[in-house]
Amino acid sequence: MFFLPNLDYEYDALKESISEDIMRLHHQKHHQSYIDKLNTALNSYPELQNSSIEELIKDIDNIPADVRTAVRNHGGGHYNHSLFWKCMSPGGGGEPEGKLMADIIEKYGSFETFIDEFTSKALTLFGSGWVWLQPDMEIIASPNQDNPLMFGQSAPILGLDVWEHAYYLDYMNKRDDYINNWWNIVDWKFVENRYTSAEQAV
């Protein structure tokens, strides 16, 4: 059984960028629904029920065919949202420090260029999906609830939800305003710790 993880902050804590209404709906309804449907999909496969969410989605090609799409969509949804909540904090924003900042600058030339490239990937992603920063400093976009683990890549260290449900109540069609304000709540300390630690479970 998978369960909805608690947030590390109140629903209204990010309200300068994401309203309490969105946070509540997104966590209690959308994320909960992915978990419920994942659990339902695994009902007939008890041997999979003790796997971690990382194990399930890394091994997506070997999940029984009749539940593979459900695990991909809802297991992906559970993993992605679990990471997303942790990537944000009311004390977030600003810039990373240490090795992460150094490696961003080495790859992109400046932090501002990195922000521009990540934002651009998020703005040009058609439909619903996610944008990720990978430990090799590549920026990857994926559709729906897919994520890099499903394609044999490393666990992402930062993820942005660009489904309309993540911003429409506050921003309507203005995805650019959502993303620009999202940078103000990114918890770089969390991303740095994830980057430099060997353990990257959600």
Interacting residues with Mn ion between 161 and 190 (CB under 5 A) = 161, 163, 166
User: Which string of DSSP letters, residue by residue, matches 6-56?
Assistant: PPSS-TTTTTTTS-HHHHHHIIIIIIHHHHHHHHHHHTT-GGGTTS-HHHH
Please tell me the count of residues contacting Mn ion according to CB under 5 A. 3
**Cβ closest to Mn ion, residue 41 vs residue 160:** 160
Site for Mn ion contains 146 (CB under 5 A) = no
How does 139-169 read in b/e, with b if 16+ C-beta sit within 10 Å? bbbbeebbbbbbeebebbbbbbbbbeebbee
- Least separation in angstroms between residue 196's CB and Mn ion is 27
- Least separation in angstroms between residue 30's CB and Mn ion is 5
**Cβ closest to Mn ion, residue 100 vs residue 175:** 175
- Least separation in angstroms between residue 125's CB and Mn ion is 13
- Least separation in angstroms between residue 104's CB and Mn ion is 25
Residue 186, strand partner residues: 88
Residue 132, strand partner residues: 140, 159
Q: Using CB under 5 A, list all residues that contact Mn ion.
A: 161, 163, 166
